[in-house]
């Protein structure tokens, strides 16, 4: 493999340097004084407090242990700046590189500032596992019980209560809350994390929230991204101010393959084995694959290889192809490389050529809304009470003909009437996290006494 050494850092951020730990501590104390002075939203507690403001109980030794780790995160030094910016603006864009601590620390910073408030804080994640694991971590850092002051909400599971102040959830779950509460009155601050991934639900949420903040001056909105291309988010939210937080600054070596790989899964497994056998420095290996099936196959293959250390040739199992495997963007590649340099210098092995990286990959992730069936999107927007779809403020508007095809499909399925209004059947279909055809099929199966069979078919097609 050819290699090129790069520094995975934010080129737009100048980090403050310190001659010694004493100066760093002084600066942090100064920030804490700022945080507790005069501004209602910025009453973030000082680290030396002994009583938990959420439970009224003394902090446990475990809290102090987590605190020592938290203060080393890059985002810790930017708390005062962030809270000041949030106090002065209704919507802000925050760019924080991988390892900066934005996902765990920024929501806590907001929650501490309004721990006596009646409304909650919501932080969305594009994936279920992230919502669950981050909520668990934050509850431990805040020294509270998961499901009480800090909780999460994902499809089929709600680990929250009436006491929950900070809730992590998938973007789809917040959308579903919006169907019954269009103004999202339960929340004072909403944070959209990983906005750079541009998932379908995230794009819809941004369009919905852009309208909600106009009608709710008390609602604060924070758009968090891990890539530097934040200008589009700023422009979309009426020139919202931008705040940059650097990530870890450890160097990462980038390795490319000299020639394109014919089977990327086989190449990935081969590379993992080589790293395991040849690298002298201790550490972990993080492998990015496209889905659960490939992950399970890779685990089985790697286990066999490690146990036998034999020269077997991988033969991928024949399966039904439901997803198109396509190259990631340069921004995603850079973000993934950054994960190798979170705590110490690392290495990133890219299973494609440097030429492919420079010439064939898009700069940023292609929005999911431009490559998806819009039937479920239209159904959700109708359920949210948004009827004028042509003028809905999408960040990247889909083609008009694609929108028309979706409307025609929903009319054919009787989810919309001839005037484009949501029917009773359509309202029920919108409650299902499925394509409209599958939702209609499930509902109709009740009248034909074949629900069990249709459930199995739907599960296989989803």
Half-sphere exposure of 295 (CA within 13 A, CB side): 7
In terms of DSSP H, where are the helices of 318-364? 330-338, 354-359
Nearest to 342 by CA among 100, 179, 163: 100
| pLDDT for position 130 | 93
Nearest to 169 by CA among 123, 212, 138, 203: 123
261 has a pLDDT exceeding 80 = yes
Domains 9-245 and 373-461 share a fold: no
Report the range of poorest mean pLDDT among 206-215, 220-229, 298-307.
298-307
User: Among residues of the chain, what percentage have pLDDT more than 90?
Assistant: 43
- φ, ψ dihedrals at 120, nearest 5°: -95, 180
Q: Write down the CATH number for the domain with range 252-359.
A: 3.40.50.300
| pLDDT for position 316 | 33
254 has a pLDDT exceeding 80 = yes
Domain coordinates of the chain in residue numbers? 9-245, 252-359, 373-461
Q: Name the band, by pLDDT with cuts 50, 70 and 90, for residue 15.
A: very low
| pLDDT for position 32 | 43
Q: What are the C-alpha distances in Å from 120 to residues 84, 207, 371, 392?
A: 19, 21, 34, 27
Q: Name the band, by pLDDT with cuts 50, 70 and 90, for residue 60.
A: very high
The pair of three-digit structure tokens given for residue 395, joined into one six-digit string: 């960040």
Element (H, E) at 170: strand 166-170
208 has a pLDDT exceeding 80 = yes
Burial 206-237 (b: 16+ CB within 10 A, else e): bbbbbebbeebeebbbbbbbbbbebebbbebb
Q: Name the band, by pLDDT with cuts 50, 70 and 90, for residue 319.
A: very low
| pLDDT for position 227 | 73
49 has a pLDDT exceeding 90 = no
Q: Name the band, by pLDDT with cuts 50, 70 and 90, for residue 11.
A: very low
Residues 74-112: tens digit of each pLDDT: 899 999 999 999 999 999 999 987 778 999 999 999 998
The CATH number fitting domain 373-461, selected from 2.40.128.20, 1.10.20.140, 3.30.70.141, 1.20.120.1080? 1.20.120.1080
Contacts of 239 (CB under 8 A, 6+ apart): none
Q: Write down the CATH number for the domain with range 9-245.
A: 3.40.50.300
Q: Name the band, by pLDDT with cuts 50, 70 and 90, for residue 117.
A: low
| pLDDT for position 23 | 54
| pLDDT for position 166 | 96
């Amino acid at each position: 493999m050819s290699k090129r050494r790069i520094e995975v850092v934010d080129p737009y951020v100048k980090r403050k340097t310190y001659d010694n730990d004493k100066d760093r501590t002084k600066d942090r104390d100064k920030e804490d004084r700022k945080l507790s002075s005069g501004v209602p939203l910025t009453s973030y507690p000082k680290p030396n407090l002994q009583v938990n403001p959420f439970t009224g109980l003394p902090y446990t030794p475990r809290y102090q242990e987590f605190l020592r780790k938290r203060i080393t995160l890059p985002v810790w030094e930017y708390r005062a700046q962030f809270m000041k910016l949030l106090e002065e603006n209704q919507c802000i864009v925050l760019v924080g590189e991988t390892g900066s601590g934005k996902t765990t620390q920024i929501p806590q910073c907001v929650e501490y500032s309004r721990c006596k408030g009646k409304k909650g804080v919501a932080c969305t994640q594009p994936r279920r596992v992230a919502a669950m694991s981050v909520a668990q971590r934050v509850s431990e850092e805040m020294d509270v019980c998961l499901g009480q002051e800090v909780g999460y909400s994902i499809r089929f599971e709600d680990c929250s209560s009436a006491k929950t102040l900070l809730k992590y959830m998938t973007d789809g779950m917040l959308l579903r809350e919006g169907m019954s509460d269009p103004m999202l009155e339960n929340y004072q601050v909403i944070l959209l994390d990983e906005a750079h991934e541009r998932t379908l639900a995230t794009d819809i949420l941004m369009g919905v929230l852009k309208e909600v903040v106009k009608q709710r001056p008390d609602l604060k909105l924070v758009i968090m991204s891990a890539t530097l291309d934040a200008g589009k988010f700023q422009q979309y939210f009426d020139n919202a101010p931008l705040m940059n937080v650097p990530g870890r600054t450890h160097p990462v070596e980038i390795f490319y393959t000299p020639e394109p790989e014919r089977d990327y899964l086989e190449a990935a497994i081969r590379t993992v084995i080589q790293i395991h056998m040849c690298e002298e420095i201790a550490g972990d290996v993080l492998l990015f694959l496209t889905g659960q099936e490939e992950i399970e196959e890779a685990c089985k293959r790697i286990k066999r290889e490690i146990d036998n250390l034999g020269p077997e040739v991988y033969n991928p199992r024949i399966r039904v192809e439901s997803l198109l495997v396509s190259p990631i963007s340069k921004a995603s590649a850079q973000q993934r490389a950054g994960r190798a340099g979170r705590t110490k210098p690392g290495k990133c092995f890219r299973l494609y050529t440097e030429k492919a990286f420079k010439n064939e990959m898009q700069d940023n992730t292609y929005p999911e809304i431009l490559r998806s069936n819009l039937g479920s999107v239209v159904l959700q927007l109708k359920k949210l009470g948004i009827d004028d779809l042509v003028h809905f403020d999408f960040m990247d508007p889909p083609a008009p003909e694609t929108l028309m095809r979706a409307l025609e499909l929903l009319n054919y399925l009787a989810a919309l009437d001839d005037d484009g209004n949501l029917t009773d059947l359509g309202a029920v279909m919108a409650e299902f996290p499925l394509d409209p055809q599958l939702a209609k099929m499930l509902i109709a199966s009740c009248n034909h006494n074949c629900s069990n069979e249709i459930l199995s078919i739907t599960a296989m097609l989803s």
